[in-house]
Structure 1
Amino acid sequence: MAFDQSGGFSRGTAARLRCADGTRAFAKAVTRGGDPYTVALAEREAAVAGALTPGLGLPAPAFRGSVESAGWFVLLFEDVEGDMAKVPWRPAELALVQRSLVTLAERATPSPLPGLPVWGGELEEWHGWNRLLADADPLRDVDSWTSRNAVRLAEAEAGFPAATAGDTLLHSDLRSDNILLNGGQVTFVDWAWAARGQAWLDPMIFALCAAVQGHPDPEAVFAAHPSARAAEPAEVDSALAALAGRFVVAARQPVEWETAPVRAFQKAEAATAIAWLRVRTGWR
C-alpha cells in the first residue's frame, strides 16, 4: 500500500509504502520523461544519500537504494517515524531543532563527504543586485529601503564567495517540510542540496525559513547557534544580501501552475531576508 505525502516544492511523487512482507519504506519518484531539472535533482539526492551512511551519525534517513522501472527513477529510504513541525513554529519544537543543528554542525565539521560542491553553486546566480543595477532596473517590486540601499546590497553580495567558504557539510534547505520530529528525535530529510561551507549557513537558512513561516525574530533563532555567535557579522550580511538578491530575481520568473508555490515562497524569502538585513545593518 502507498500513502501519498504532501509538502515541499519538488515535482515528483512521494509516498510512504507498506510492503507485502510487513516492512515499510519511503519512496520518491520522478519520471524520466518529465522536467530534466527535477530528474537531475533526484539523481543528485541519490548520490548524496548513498554517501550519508549510518556510521557518520548524522540525523538523516537511511538510504536503501534507487530503482529504474518503466521510465521512472525511484529513491527508497527508511520510513522515518515522525511528523513535520507545526508552523508558525512552537517554542518547544523550535528549541529541539536548534539543539539538533548544533549536533549536526559538530558531526559535520570537517565535512565527512568528499567532493561536495561549495555552497552556492553557480556564482552568477548570486549577483542579483549587481545585475539589477547594471540593467538600471527600476526595482519597483521592492520597498523604498531596499531601492535606497541597492548599491550597498550589491557591495555586500560581492563578497559572497569568500564569506561563505568553509568545510562543514551543509543540508542547505532546512525548511519545516524537510524536518521530521518524533518526540525528542529530529531527522533532516531531502539532502539534494548538500554542500560544504561555513558552519553558520545552515542555522542562517533555518532562521530565515522559520521567519518566512511565521517566527517574528530570525536574529534570535540564528544567534542560538554557537557558530552564528562566532561568525563575522559582515560575512553573514554578505550571504543574506546574496540570498535576497537571488530571490528577488527568481521571484520574477514566469509563473506556471506548478511553479506558483515556489515563486510565492521566493518572494517571501526575499522580503524576509531584506527585513532581517535592515535590522542587522542599521542602514537608513
Structure 2
Amino acid sequence: MPTVCLTEIPADVLALIEAVQAGPVLKAETLNAGLNSEIAARVHTADGTLFVKGLRQEHCRVWTQQREADVNWYVNGIAPALTWRIQAGGWDLLAFEDVPGRHADYAPGSSDLPLVAEVIGRLSTIQAPDTIVRTMPDRMKAHTSTPELFAGDTLCHTDWFPTNVLITNRAVVVDWAWASRGAAWIDPALWVVWLINSGHTPTQAEKWAARIPAWNIAPPAAIDAFARAAVSVWEEIADGQTQPWVLDILNAARTWRTHR
C-alpha cells in the first residue's frame, strides 16, 4: 500500500535538515509523485537545492531508506548522488542531489525511449552489492512454480513507474526502495509491461527490450514464466483496488502473458 506523503515538512524535520546543512531552509516544496515516502520535498538552502525523502523510524517500511543508501554508490551516474543521511529525532531522512528533470514518457514515438533503454542497459551490467540480500526468486516465489529461473547477481531496480525516471539530457533513475538481486533481464521484462500500458503492442515493447543485450540472451522459457508471474503479482496488488492505473497495469501484464 502507498504511504501517505505529508503536504508540509514538520518543524522538527526542518530543524534536523538545518542542523546538518548548518544554515536555514529558505524554501521547501513538497512533492506527491512518490508512493513510498512520508516526506518527499525539494529543499532550498544557501548552499543549493536538495531532494529530501524520509520516513518515521517506526514506519513498517523504513528499511527502504537503508536499501536506497546501500545502493547509491553502485549506481553512480544512473541515480542522483546521496548527499547525507540523518537518523535522529524519530526520523530517517535521505538527501540527494536535485535533478531538474521531467518524468519519462513511455508512449510510442517518444524521444525518451532510447534514453530509458540505454540506462536499463547500463544497470543490467551492475552486480548487486552484498547488502542487497532480497532476491527476485524470493520475491516471486508465491507467484510461480519456477522462481529459480529469475535468479542472478544483477542489481535490479524493479519499479519502472514513469515517475521513477527523470529525463534531462539523459535518463536518471530514482526511488531504489525495491532494488533486488536477480537475472539481468528482469528490468527489461518489467519495462515491457509499462510500455504495453503506455500504448505499445507486445511486439513493439519487446523490440525496445531487445535494445538491452541481457534481454537477448535470456532463456525464452524464463521470460515466459516471468510474464505469467507478473500477472499474478498485479492481480494481488489490484485485489480490492479501485485506482485506474493499477487495473491498467494488470491488463497490460495480461496482454503480455497472452502474447508470450
Tell me what 1:237 maps to. Answer: 224
| Structure 2 match to 1:206 | 191
Identify the residue that residue 164 of structure 2 maps to in structure 1: 178
Once the two structures are TM-superposed, the CA of residue 122 in structure 1 deviates from its matched residue by 4.0
Given candidates 27, 36, 44, the residue that maps to 1:10 is: 36
Q: Identify, as 1 or 2, the structure richer in helix.
A: 1
Residue 252 (str. 1) matches residue 239 (str. 2):
yes
Change (3 A) 1:166 1:39: same
Question: Which residue of structure 1 aligns with residue 10 of structure 2?
Answer: none
Q: Which of residues 64, 67, 71 is equivalent to 1:44?
A: 67
Q: Unaligned 5+ residue runs, structure 2? A: 1-26
| Cα pair distance change 1:275/1:243, threshold 3 Å | same
- What is the percent sequence identity of the aligned residues? 28
Cα separation, 2, equivalents of 1:24 and 1:89: 34
Residue by residue over 1:209-248, the C-alpha shift from the partner in whole angstroms, topping out at 9 and shown as x without a partner, is: 2222333343222223221121111101111211211221
Alignment TM-score, normalising by the size of structure 1: 0.73
- The whole-number CA distance in structure 2 between the counterparts of 1:242 and 1:30 is 30
In structure 2, distance between residues paired with 1:6 and 1:45: 19
Aligned residues: CA RMSD: 2.4
The one-letter code of the counterpart of 1:242 is: A
Deviation at 1:69, TM superposition (A): 4.5
Give CA deviations for 1:42-69 in whole Å, capped at 9, x if unaligned.
33323333xx25xx64411111221134
Amino acid of the structure 2 residue aligned with 1:113: P
* Comparing 89-98 and 233-242, the one that deviates more: 89-98
TM-score (structure 2 length as normaliser): 0.79
Assess if the C-alpha contact under 8 Å between 2:234 and 2:249 holds in 1: yes
Distance (Å, rounded) in 2 between the aligned partners of 1:29 and 1:276: 35
Paired AA for residue 227 in structure 1: A
Distance 1:45 1:271, change over 3 A: same
List aligned pairs for 1:104-115, cutoff 5 A.
Answer: 104-106=123-125, 108=126, 111=127, 113-115=129-131
How many corresponding residue pairs?
Answer: 232
Residues 8 and 213 of structure 1: CA distance in aligned 2, closer, same or farther (over 3 Å):
farther
Deviations along 1:171-196, one digit per CA (max 9) or x if unpaired, are: 1112211111112x221111111222
- Once residues 192 and 34 of structure 2 are traced to their aligned partners in structure 1, the CA distance between those partners, rounded to angstroms, is 17
Distance of 2:155 and 2:189 partners within structure 1: 14
Would the alpha carbon gap of residues 114 and 28 (structure 1) be closer, same or farther in structure 2, given more than 3 Å must change?
same
